Structure 1
Amino acid sequence: MTLQTAERPRLSTPARIPRTGRGEKNKVSRWQIWVPLGLYLVFTLVPFYWMLVFAFRPRGSSSLLPWPITFDNFAVVWNDLGFAIFFQNSLMVGVASLFMTTVIALAGGYALARYDFRGKKLFMMGMLCTQFIPGAMMLIPLFEIFRTFGLVNSLWSLVIAETVFQLPLSLILISGFIRNVPVELEQAAWVDGCGRLRGFFAVVLPLLRPALVAVGSFAFIHSWNNFLFALMFVSDQEKFTVPVGLSYTLGEFSVDFGALAAGGVVAAVPVVLVFAFIQRYLVQGMSAGAVKG
């Protein structure tokens, strides 16, 4: 008798999936990143390029490059149009708004973060709702208040208005950041003999640097760029700010593009410098303040 061996079933080998080379995959991902980023940069930087071209090229020139470079437009803006005074006024308003917003938001944010009181959630909701009110709707009430207290045609009216409109977001941001600071650190300082105020300055305040930089920078930049309040509350030319001064380069029948572009460069320099020095603190402050709250 012959034994027949059962044939083993043959397993079919799966078809190999063609692999994409690592270089080709990276090439596709690079295109997907750099093409939209390049288009965005072109769309963003072209207006700045034309502003620099009009600011630095001679009057009457139609060259696409600012050559030969001239500073005549800046001399006209700074000396003839009085931008030196406008720049000083904007700087005073911006620094004062920065200081007042930061100090008040720091005190209020600590109270919201460390104390529980009746109506706290309602208060926070009211602060958030104020962000939906445009500034133009508050012009008449603010003007009446400033006229009652004799603050019309004063730089203090701009400082107060900017501080009021910046406080809600600043309070929420700083309160959220303080919640991330463990309260045990303050309690340890209290055990060592520090009071609440001294413990706050010794323990909590050094950890709030990113939040303070974020709040202060937003307050400064918003007050520096604000045009509506400065136009409505100030009528004396010696108290104009930079945005209002820029509007006076627009004539009734003609526009001095060189002076307008030079004024735009002067107005943009402080904002660019602020963002260049505080960008890492700004990201830390915004991310830390948005974690809790």
Structure 2
Amino acid sequence: MTAALVEKKDSAPGNAPRPSSPPPFSARRPKRERAFDDVPRWQIYVPLGIYLLFTLIPFYWMLLFAVRPAGSTSLVPWPMTGEHFSKVWNERSFAVFFQNSMIVGVATLIATTLVALAGGYALARFDFKIKGGFMLALLCSQFIPGALMLVPLFEIFKNLQLINSLVSVVIAETVFQLPLSIILISGFIKNVPVTLEEAAWVDGCSRFKAFCAVVLPLLRPGLIAVGSFAFVHSWNHFLFALMFLSEQDKQTIPVGLNTLIGADSVDLGALAAGGVIAAVPVVIVFAFIQKWLITGFSAGAVKG
């Protein structure tokens, strides 16, 4: 009788056991993350500072030679001069090189993104017999250096009368960027639930309309990552522009930088100024899209 009364008293609504308070946030964090809280800050910032200094010294050295007067040996860029920039931009045709590189970079960006988007969607949403072999071929193609393909590409472009045309460089750059771009876009599309497209189909959308309205807006980080990678690679690539473009008014910035190196002497001021001009667009691109770039590459690498 007493045991029954005790049990009834314990189960009464007013005596219900209070839920235990949630553990503090630090206790809920993984042990690996909590371990970094005990590390002194200087053990993190000092190695990072050394690495940053080691990385920035070449850029400072290039900027120093670009703005320092000719013949000066000062380690401080003062007084500064713009004669080297004026020389390479006007006398060495860097304005034309810059325009050609911009055309090649933007065209490669657009072509690579569009083709990779179509190929990545096919790999992510459709099943076919040679899908595994096709993915393996895409991965293996990354081990083929571009130098091995120069002769066959030159013969193809020669027969198509595309030698000494920026179109040949755009095609070559796009072809070599597509395997990695397709893999990244495919992995990113796999992270988008197919049920979203199915709901759009039920509402009367076609596959293409559902893709444009539902999937495409969610692919913005992946598209930015792929497009920026294609632009930067085509902007910096030297080999294709050197082999397929012979006239000076068709050359790009990497080839233009090579013309500043003479057989007996090198104009370090002009070469450094040309390097700064070549680096500025890339730095601006990464400064504006770094968040989308990291998100896109990490999301596209989750699923293959």
After TM superposition, the score normalised by the length of structure 2 is: 0.87
Q: CA deviation at 1:39?
A: 1.7
- Separation in structure 2 between the aligned mates of residue 201 and residue 34 of structure 1, nearest angstrom: 45
**What are the superposed Cα offsets for residues 168-204 of structure 1, whole Å, 9 maximum, x if unpaired?**
0000000000011000100111111110000000000
Q: CA deviation at 1:28?
A: 5.8
Match 1:195 to one of 191, 206, 216:
206
SS in 2 for 1:70: coil
Match 2:123 to one of 104, 108, 112:
112
5+ residue gaps, structure 2, are 1-35
Count of residue pairs the alignment pairs up: 269
Q: CA deviation at 1:26?
A: 7.3
Residues 54-93 of structure 1 aligned to structure 2 (within 5 Å): 54-93=65-104
Quick one: percent identity of the two aligned structures?
70
SS in 2 for 1:67: coil
Aligned to 1:8: none
C-alpha distance 66-202 of structure 1, shift in aligned 2 (>3 A):
same
5+ residue gaps, structure 1, are 1-24
1:129 aligns with 2:140: yes
SS in 1 for 2:219: helix
1:32 aligns with 2:43: yes
- Separation in structure 1 between the aligned mates of residue 79 and residue 37 of structure 2, nearest angstrom: 43
1:149 aligns with 2:160: yes
SS in 2 for 1:202: helix
1:169 aligns with 2:180: yes
Aligned to 1:184: 195
Q: CA deviation at 1:212?
A: 0.2
- Separation in structure 1 between the aligned mates of residue 288 and residue 259 of structure 2, nearest angstrom: 31
C-alpha distance 26-169 of structure 1, shift in aligned 2 (>3 A):
closer
1:243 aligns with 2:254: yes
Over aligned residue pairs, what C-alpha RMSD do you find? 1.2
C-alpha distance 195-169 of structure 1, shift in aligned 2 (>3 A):
same
Aligned to 1:214: 225
SS in 2 for 1:29: coil
Q: Which runs of 4+ in 1 moved over 3 A?
A: 25-28
Aligned to 1:265: 276
| AA partner of residue 58 (structure 2) | P
| AA partner of residue 179 (structure 1) | K
- Separation in structure 1 between the aligned mates of residue 65 and residue 108 of structure 2, nearest angstrom: 32
**What are the superposed Cα offsets for residues 215-235 of structure 1, whole Å, 9 maximum, x if unpaired?**
000000000000011111110
Match 2:243 to one of 229, 232, 244:
232
After TM superposition, the score normalised by the length of structure 1 is: 0.90
- Separation in structure 2 between the aligned mates of residue 81 and residue 290 of structure 1, nearest angstrom: 42
Q: Which moved more, 1:215-224 or 1:57-66?
A: 57-66
Q: Which moved more, 1:37-46 or 1:208-217?
A: 37-46
**What are the superposed Cα offsets for residues 127-153 of structure 1, whole Å, 9 maximum, x if unpaired?**
000000011111111111111111111
